[in-house]
Amino acid sequence: MIEKIKALKTEIENITVSAKEEVEELRIKYISKKGQVSQLFEEFKNVSPEQKKEIGAAINDLKNFALDTINRIKESFETGDQSASGLDLTMPGEAIKLGTRHPLSIVKNEIIEIFARLGFVVAEGPEIEDDWHVFSALNFPPEHPARDMQDTFFIEKNPDILLRTHTSSVQVRVMEKTQPPIRAIFPGRVFRNEAISARSHCMFHQIEGLYVDENVSFADLKQTLLYFAREFFGEKTEIRMRPSYFPFTEPSAEVDVSCSICGGKGCNVCKYSGWLEILGCGMVDPNVLDLCGIDNKKYTGFAFGMGIERITMLKFGIKDIRHFFENDVRFLNQFEAAH
Ligand code: PHE
């Protein structure tokens, strides 16, 4: 019988109540005339005389315990203090852990902020594009190799629809809609049919810049990029421009920054050259302005485009581009917590 009393005590100890109405049910179940505790007093009649003292005391204890518990629960509903029903509202809450920002987003936001200080606004365009915005309006001749199946993902049913291979398509979209002055940057994802390795991926991100107005010159381009390089890589950074070719800019250049790892002395990241290539740029080809409906006698402009993965790898010393897309939390957790 002692066992039975103990079991009933544990049961009462573990009572949880979610509604006031349940309190009355508890009273009936345990301490009313027919309740389980009252039943024990019936059984007590059959207990042998030598056990009567011990068991009698235990039943009385249990009865008081049951009365106390049920009263306490009842009170808690009346006063609104739920601690008696097993719920302690003063306990510290469980913090909701915020994720960390993706390293590509951290760098993208930093670049946007730097250009915002020069008056550049952000614009975006679609990832699924047409030939006109990715190639034709950008002065790509019909036989240009970038249109080749090897570089571009085309939609099989309609080769006029494709995944954009660069964010320069947004230049076209913005110029078609807006008359100068235009001062904007376009971050976004681009796709190229390339083998995936530590250094290249079939999808990556670029950030494009475009400035079109009266009297925009190559000197403006150079100064803008120097400002950016020093803000991003540090004030001692130097830039170097090398002649290059893009169908949509003339003249065109590739821009190197002095290696931020070794300060230009030479290391394995810059392959002992002291320089790191970070972007392509140039003066918007007058033909492109014309194709986009902008008066190329009145206006000139510059454009530039850079790969976000590349400069993120330089900034954080990341050695394999595939880390960005694998979503391994051990990698992602190493970067700034999201706010
Ligand atoms: N779109 C070029 C690329 O993807 C980069 C670029 C942008 C060059 C703007 C010049 C001007 O390589």
Residue 280 corresponds to which amino acid?
G
* pLDDT at res. 29: 84
Query: Using CA positions, which residue lies closest to atom 2 of ligand 1?
Result: 305
Q: Does the beta carbon of 282 sit less than 6 angstroms from any atom of ligand 1?
A: yes
- HSE-up of residue 317 (Cα within 13 Å, Cβ side): 6
One-letter amino acid at 302 equals: F
Q: Measuring from atom 9 of ligand 1, which residue has the nearest CA?
A: 304
Q: Is any atom of ligand 1 closer than 6 Å to the C-beta of 307?
A: no
Angle at 177 between CA 215 and CA 174, to 5 degrees: 65
Q: Is the CB of 255 under 6 A from ligand 1?
A: no
The CA-atom distances, in angstroms, between 229 and each of 66, 178, 278, 305, 334 are: 75, 28, 10, 13, 25
- Give the Cα separation of 246 and 257 in Å (integer): 20
- Rounded Cα gap, residues 277 and 256, in angstroms: 4
Q: Is 187 in the pocket of ligand 1 (CB under 6 A)?
A: no
Please state, in angstroms and rounded to a whole number, the distance separating the CA atoms of residues 246 and 261: 29
Cα distance between residue 273 and residue 269, in whole Å: 9
Strands (E), 218-299: 239-246, 249-258, 275-284
What pLDDT, on the 0 to 100 scale, is given for residue 170? 98
Cα–Cα dist 213/120, whole Å? 13
Rg (CA), the chain: 37
CA 199 to each of CA 95, 212, 310, 324: distance values in angstroms, whole numbers, following the listed order: 39, 33, 9, 12
Contacts of 15 (CB under 8 A, 6+ apart): 26, 69, 73, 86
- Yes or no: say if 144 and 135 are a contact pair by the CB < 8 Å rule: yes
Which CATH number among 3.30.930.10, 2.40.10.10, 1.10.3720.10, 3.40.50.740 corresponds to the domain 103-338?
A: 3.30.930.10
For residue 61, give the nearest of 88, 41, 76 by alpha carbon. Answer: 41
310 CA distance to ligand 1 middle (Å): 14
Distance 49 CA to ligand 1 centre (A): 101
Q: What is the CA(221)–ligand 1 centre distance, in A?
A: 14
The string over 226-249, giving b where at least 16 C-beta atoms fall within 10 Å of a residue's C-beta and e elsewhere, is bebbbbbbeeebebebeeeebbbb
Helices vs. strands in the chain: H and E counts, helices first = 12, 10
DSSP string, 36-61: HHHHHHHHHTTS-GGGHHHHHHHHHH
What is the pLDDT, as a whole number, of residue 84? 53
Contacts of 79 (CB under 8 A, 6+ apart): none
Please tell me if the CB atom of residue 303 comes closer than 6 angstroms to any atom of ligand 1: yes
Please state the pTM of the whole predicted model: 0.73
The residue whose CA is least distant from atom 10 of ligand 1 is 281
The low-confidence residues of the chain, meaning pLDDT below 70, are 80-86, 149-150, 337-339
CB of 249 within 6 A of ligand 1: the answer is yes
Query: How confident is the model at residue 282, as a pLDDT?
Result: 98
| Pocket flag, ligand 1, residue 186 (CB < 6 Å) | no
Q: Is 169 in the pocket of ligand 1 (CB under 6 A)?
A: no
Residue type, 278: I
Pocket test for ligand 1, best of 120, 191, 194, 246 (most atoms within 8 A of CB): 246
Q: What are phi and psi of 211, to 5 degrees?
A: -135, 115
Question: Residue 82 has what pLDDT?
Answer: 58
How far, in Å, CA of 282 to CA of 222, rounded? 10
Q: Distance between alpha carbon 16 and the CA centroid of its chain, in Å?
A: 41
Q: Which atom of ligand 1 is least distant from the CA of 252? A: 10
Check residue 51 and give its pLDDT.
Answer: 84
Closest CA to 5 of 40, 53, 34, 43: 40
| CB of 191 sitting under 6 A from ligand 1 | no
Where does the chain hold its CATH 3.30.930.10 domain(s)?
103-338
Residue that the structure tokens 């760098």 belong to: 107
Between the CA of 320 and the centroid of ligand 1 the distance, in Å, is 23
Question: Which residues are registered as beta bridge partners of 240?
Answer: 256
